[in-house]
Amino acid sequence: MELSREKEKRMGKRKNKKYELNFEVASERKKITGYTLITDLDCTVEAQHMKEHEAFLEIQRHAFNGDILAVEEMLLEFPVFKREDLKKMLIRSAAERGKTLELR
């Protein structure tokens, strides 16, 4: 604290009114010009997220029941770039419940 106060005395208090805002308030985040910190409302993204979430829960149920073939078949419904992360999530959640999951 001592160093920061001394530094303030030397440099003077610098406050830029343009960027003085509370980042905890989401509505204020859009005030910085030139930056989009919060995306505009897009319902299609939310619908896709919910669809993928529900599909993941179904895959998770199959994984907990030990139905590896159904898990691997349902993973094919997801884009390739998400499959490895989903496999890691499934293996981790199965391990938390004391089960082992062998996925290719």
Number of domains the chain contains: 2
| pLDDT tens digits, 6-56 | 655 555 555 555 555 555 555 555 555 555 555 666 677 788 888 999 999
87 lies in which domain range? 43-96
- Closest among 8, 7, 35 to 21, alpha carbons compared: 35
> C-alpha angle with apex 66: 77 to 75, nearest 5 degrees?
10
CB neighbour class for 89 (10 Å; exposed up to 12, middle 13-18, buried from 19): middle
Per the domain annotation, does 104 fall within a domain? no
Per the domain annotation, does 59 fall within a domain? yes
* Whether 48 and 22 share a structural domain: no
Read off φ and ψ for residue 6, nearest 5 degrees.
Answer: -65, -40
| pLDDT tens digits, 53-77 | 999 999 999 999 888 999 999 999 9
pTM of the model: 0.56
* Whether 14 and 54 share a structural domain: no
What pLDDT shows up at residue 62? 92
* Whether 67 and 91 share a structural domain: yes
- Sign of the Cα pseudo-torsion (80, 84, 89, 90, in order): positive
Per the domain annotation, does 84 fall within a domain? yes
Q: What is the identity of the amino acid at 93?
A: S
Per the domain annotation, does 37 fall within a domain? no
